[in-house]
């Protein structure tokens, strides 16, 4: 592996969990753009959005993406990073983009099992299953358009990593 690998997909698809495992197996660096952004801002995404608005957060997100992109790095991106055409193009040009695709039922079950303690504000005022369904319906085409590869993320993290390694034929240590 040399090019960075960008993991994209909805909240709950497993970008961070899969990214950490993939980085471990491939002995690569791992960066979660949301975590990096929050650590550098000294505030949560919810706080940034509340104080500065979504547009400011999205600008910070783009700056973060550019800052963390490096060879031999697995990058778990925020679910909305693909909303900006610049980000989609940047990831496609700089590395390999993998869409971790999972059905709404899987995403909702994971989000309910592991709520992100205020890390991300709700995107709508709707119940979780409706919000996830609506957001995925809007973004799926963008994830697919950005991705070099689409992986079934409804499997276990270990199985998803095996799918990715097999797909990319990565020379990773086992």
- Please check the confidence at residue 172 and state whether its pLDDT lies above 80: no
CB atoms within 10 A of CB 27: 10
What was the pLDDT predicted at 117? 42
Kindly give the interhelix angle for 45-52 and 33-41, rounded to the nearest 10 degrees.
60
Statement: the pTM of the whole predicted model exceeds 0.75: yes
What pLDDT score was predicted for residue 134?
84
Q: What tokens were used for 17? A: 């969990």
Domain range annotation of the chain: 5-168
Residue position matching structure tokens 């995403």:
107
Mean pLDDT of 47-56: 92
Percent of the chain with pLDDT over 90: 64
Please count the other Cβ atoms lying within 10 Å of the Cβ belonging to residue 151: 24
Q: What is the pLDDT of residues 103-121, one digit of tens each?
A: 888 888 887 777 664 455 5
**Distance from C-alpha of 157 to C-alpha of 160, rounded to nearest angstrom:** 5
Distance of CA 9 to the CA centre of its chain: 5
Burial label, 89 (beta-carbon count in 10 A; 0-12, 13-18, 19+):
exposed
Kindly report the length of the chain: 174
The CATH number that domain 5-168 falls under is 3.40.50.300
């Amino acid at each position: 592996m040399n090019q960075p690998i960008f993991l994209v997909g909805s909240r709950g698809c497993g970008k961070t969990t899969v990214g950490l495992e993939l980085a471990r197996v491939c002995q690569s660096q791992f960066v979660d753009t949301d975590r990096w952004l929050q650590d550098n801002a000294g505030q949560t995404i919810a706080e940034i959005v509340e104080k500065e608005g979504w547009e400011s957060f999205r600008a910070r997100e783009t700056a973060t993406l550019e800052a963390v992109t490096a060879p031999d790095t697995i990058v778990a991106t925020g679910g909305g990073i693909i909303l900006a055409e610049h980000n989609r193009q940047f990831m496609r040009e700089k590395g390999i983009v993998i869409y971790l695709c999972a059905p709404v039922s899987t995403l909702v079950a994971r989000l309910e099992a592991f709520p992100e303690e205020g890390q991300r504000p709700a995107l709508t005022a709707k119940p979780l299953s409706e919000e996830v369904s609506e957001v995925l319906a809007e973004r799926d085409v963008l994830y697919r358009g950005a991705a070099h590869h689409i992986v079934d993320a409804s499997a276990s993290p270990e199985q998803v990593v095996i799918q990715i390694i097999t797909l990319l034929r990565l020379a990773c240590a086992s």
